């Protein structure tokens, strides 16, 4: 089924009281999860706003900021976990990364919240760079799999079918580039809304 036809089917389902996320599920084949597990990012043309925070040396009016003076608020593991759950992702200025890793790494690492060189770390905290990184983060989707399926949020149901389709195609192409055997690792691709069953789609045309 084509992506737009699949979306039309998904939109026939019962409406929910919240805006559902559009998830893409890629089932893999010829893939050794233990040796080849992915830990990277793919980009989409139409981002959705994420709840972001930044580890900076000074307050920023562009983003919720955690400075080194604020570290004392996070003495206990439960406080760090609460912070990690409060935001979708974190960015950091490069000189602070060592301190951030020491203080928050044990919790942030397993929860996929650590700022990354691929998406999340900036050399200095000037306004232009912060704005560019916020935009990049909103268009970046983290890929981290430990099983034979990759499940990623690729949009929201209130986006247009064109926007969702373009995101789906971009993610499929992005994943094919990072999979060790490209399309030969792809068994099938499905999309779903938060509360619906997944429906199979055809792979995006190259």
CATH of the domain at 155: 3.30.190.20
Query: Within this chain, do residues 59 and 125 fall inside the same structural domain, yes or no?
Result: yes
Query: Within this chain, do residues 156 and 104 fall inside the same structural domain, yes or no?
Result: no
Could you count the other beta carbons within 10 Å of the beta carbon of residue 71? 16
Query: Within this chain, do residues 35 and 109 fall inside the same structural domain, yes or no?
Result: no
Contact in structure between 141 and 42 (CB atoms under 8 Å): yes
Query: Within this chain, do residues 118 and 169 fall inside the same structural domain, yes or no?
Result: no
Examine the pLDDT at 206 and tell me if it is beyond 80. no
* Single pTM value for the model: 0.81
120 found inside a domain:
yes
Examine the pLDDT at 9 and tell me if it is beyond 80. yes
Contact in structure between 173 and 8 (CB atoms under 8 Å): no
Nearest-10 crossing angle of helices 161-178, 3-11: 130
Query: Within this chain, do residues 57 and 134 fall inside the same structural domain, yes or no?
Result: yes
Instruction: Render pLDDT for 115-128 as a digit per residue (tens, 0 to 9).
Output: 988 889 999 999 99
Q: Please tell me the total count of domains within the chain.
A: 2
Query: Within this chain, do residues 91 and 33 fall inside the same structural domain, yes or no?
Result: no
Query: Within this chain, do residues 41 and 61 fall inside the same structural domain, yes or no?
Result: no
Alpha-carbon distance of 65 to 127, in angstroms, equals: 13
Range of the domain at 157: 3-47+140-201
Contact in structure between 147 and 34 (CB atoms under 8 Å): no
Q: Residue 118 phi/psi, 5° resolution?
A: -75, -35
**Mean pLDDT in residue range 171-196:** 94
Instruction: Render pLDDT for 131-157 as a digit per residue (tens, 0 to 9).
Output: 999 999 999 998 988 889 999 999 999
pLDDT at 37: 87
Instruction: Render pLDDT for 57-108 as a digit per residue (tens, 0 to 9).
Output: 999 999 999 999 999 999 999 999 999 999 999 999 999 999 999 999 999 9
Q: Higher model confidence: residue 186 or residue 48?
A: 186
Query: Within this chain, do residues 130 and 65 fall inside the same structural domain, yes or no?
Result: yes
pLDDT at 1: 65
206 found inside a domain:
no
pLDDT at 48: 84
pLDDT at 204: 40
CATH number for the domain spanning 97: value is 3.40.50.790
31 found inside a domain:
yes
pLDDT at 203: 53
Domain end (from 109, 138, 167): 138
Query: Within this chain, do residues 70 and 146 fall inside the same structural domain, yes or no?
Result: no
Residue ranges with strand state E in 80-183: 89-93, 121-122, 140-144, 149-156
141's tokens:
């989707």
| High-pLDDT (> 70) share of the chain, % | 97
Residue ranges with strand state E in 20-139: 21-28, 39-43, 52-55, 64-66, 89-93, 121-122
């Amino acid at each position: 089924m084509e992506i737009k036809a699949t979306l039309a089917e998904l939109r026939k389902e019962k409406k929910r009281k919240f805006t559902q996320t559009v998830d893409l599920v890629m089932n893999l084949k010829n893939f050794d999860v233990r040796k080849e597990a992915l830990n990277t990012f793919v980009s989409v043309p139409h981002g959705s706003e994420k709840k972001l925070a930044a580890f900076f040396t000074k307050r920023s009016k562009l983003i919720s900021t955690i400075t080194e003076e604020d570290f004392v608020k996070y003495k206990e593991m439960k406080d760090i976990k609460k912070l990690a759950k409060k935001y979708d992702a974190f960015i950091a200025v490069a000189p602070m990364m060592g301190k951030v890793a020491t203080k928050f790494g044990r919790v942030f690492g397993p929860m996929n919240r650590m700022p990354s060189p691929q998406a999340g770390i900036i050399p200095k905290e000037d306004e232009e760079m912060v704005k560019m990184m916020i935009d990049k983060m909103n268009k970046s989707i983290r890929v981290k799999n430990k099983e034979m399926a990759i499940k990623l949020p690729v949009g929201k149901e209130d986006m247009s079918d064109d926007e969702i389709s373009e995101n789906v195609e971009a993610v499929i192409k992005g994943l094919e580039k990072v999979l060790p055997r490209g399309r030969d690792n792809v068994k099938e691709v499905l999309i779903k809304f938060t509360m619906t069953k997944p429906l199979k789609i055809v792979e995006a045309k190259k």
